Structure 1
């Protein structure tokens, strides 16, 4: 791990001194990100996560507590420092600590991993309906239409200024059309009704069902579980399934029959809902990755997103065209 270029970090010596104060003997440490540190101690391996606001740190610890001790595990949860503190302040952050969970992220091109991910989401949703009111009420919520409108507008803005390659140029109008079509046909009444029912049922979402937010210890278990509380939200569980579909379909050439083969009932039932099918047209992953790449100007990142877009395009187009023909 590169230990250089960390803004606001107070240097190795002070960090080691702080760790000693809380009861750790550090053998080694490194950075995943500025605010995510792994540490190897005589007591074992841990991950420290830093929050700029104390309130955010306390909120995550409160939510984490709800998932502690569940078997099979539903979420990777925080623990305490050796001095029994739940979090400490150091540098610019308030730091919480969790064990370094052994295992790998999922690979969405692997059928067993896709199924393990679905089962993990189902277990998470089932348990999360039991969260106490005060924990549920502390979570933020959002409007899917508003979130996507903003993402579409950002891509439209970046697309105008971008210097597209000759391969990408002819695809941009269609990628924009998909977003506009979805927003124009968005089933507001169905989604608003869904959001109201979800609020009554106290449904929450994980919010980031990316492959790296699952842990699967292949040697010990077939069951995966989720990590990361950052994007928990008080919105319909269907939004996790929508995001999961959007993340796995590119690995399976946008094949619905493949989804039927792998999907559990919690996932597949949404494909019968018109609002959900309309939302599958929205290229949220392309907008997200292109917005990030074009904003940063990082050439390597841009090339990576372009490669994915070109490889994925014809399969996605067939899938989208089928929906457009069906809905019109």
Structure 2
């Protein structure tokens, strides 16, 4: 069962499931209705798939993830649906950066953690100040009705030997395909020693664009993962800082290279 407060979130996923074999199938209830409302939530029914999430620590799973996203993009391009919003990355990333900045203001941290926190603050500020070129990509994406999944985390794939499906399309939107690959790279780079070598010769054009186009490559420096975990899980911030410190030298070198 899929539950969400907004019917639009469910309707767009039902629509996408009707055109994309790469996305989990939705089924009507026994009375023919697609959505049931209860307790302020909208419920829809998905086909059960036995399997596991992907593991981005495994190279074969990373390959599966990017190939499935490419398949999804091809299947859904041109789909017209009133419930699919367009995505503007500048306000989204600016808002996340501002929320992080406001959260740390006035707080005192140990010197090493303070240095780490302000490094990621400064990198976020630098990236959001240099994003104006994405507006052109977003206009093109909307004109051609390019659709992205919006959240290609490892747990949003279900895999077994017979099939691989994307699930949880709450963030499906009209947007440049590169945005899904930027997210994938952000999530995968910690497992690749902060190196882009694995994708340098990819046959997937939007993925290569993220590496070869200077203004897109700069976006890989944005610490989306750090901001997300900091803001969503305040109770584990110390663990986040410890984990981040362990990879900081490699990540800082990567950031320096892409900026």
Q: Which residue does the alignment assign to 2:245?
A: 310
Give the unaligned 5+ runs of structure 2: none
- Runs (4+) of structure 1 exceeding 4 A deviation are none
Q: Which residue does the alignment assign to 1:198?
A: 141
Deviation at 1:77, TM superposition (A): 1.7
Q: Which residue does the alignment assign to 2:185?
A: 245
| TM-score, normalised relative to structure 2 | 0.91
Q: Which residue does the alignment assign to 2:173?
A: 233
CA gap of 1:184–1:95, structure 2 versus 1, over 3 A, is: closer
Question: How many residue pairs end up in the alignment?
Answer: 258
CA gap of 1:53–1:284, structure 2 versus 1, over 3 A, is: closer
| Aligned 8 A contact 1:293 1:305 in 2 | no
Give the unaligned 5+ runs of structure 1: 1-47
Match of 1:179 among 124, 148, 156: 124
CA gap of 1:53–1:175, structure 2 versus 1, over 3 A, is: closer
Q: Which residue does the alignment assign to 1:207?
A: 150
Deviation at 1:161, TM superposition (A): 3.7
- The 5 Å alignment of 1:2-41 reads none
- In the alignment, the residues of structure 2 paired with residue 120 and residue 95 of structure 1 have an alpha-carbon distance, to the nearest angstrom, of 26
- In the alignment, the residues of structure 2 paired with residue 55 and residue 318 of structure 1 have an alpha-carbon distance, to the nearest angstrom, of 42
Q: Which digits, 9 at most, give the CA deviation of each residue in 1:116-151, with x for residues without a partner?
A: 0010000001111141x3x1x431123211111111
Q: Identify which of structures 1 and 2 has the higher relative contact order when contacts are C-alpha pairs closer than 8 Å and 6+ apart.
A: 2
Deviation at 1:175, TM superposition (A): 1.1
User: Structure 1 residue 285 and structure 2 residue 229: aligned?
Assistant: no
Q: Which residue does the alignment assign to 1:80?
A: 28
Q: Which residue does the alignment assign to 2:11?
A: 58
| Aligned 8 A contact 2:101 2:121 in 1 | yes
- In the alignment, the residues of structure 1 paired with residue 253 and residue 8 of structure 2 have an alpha-carbon distance, to the nearest angstrom, of 47
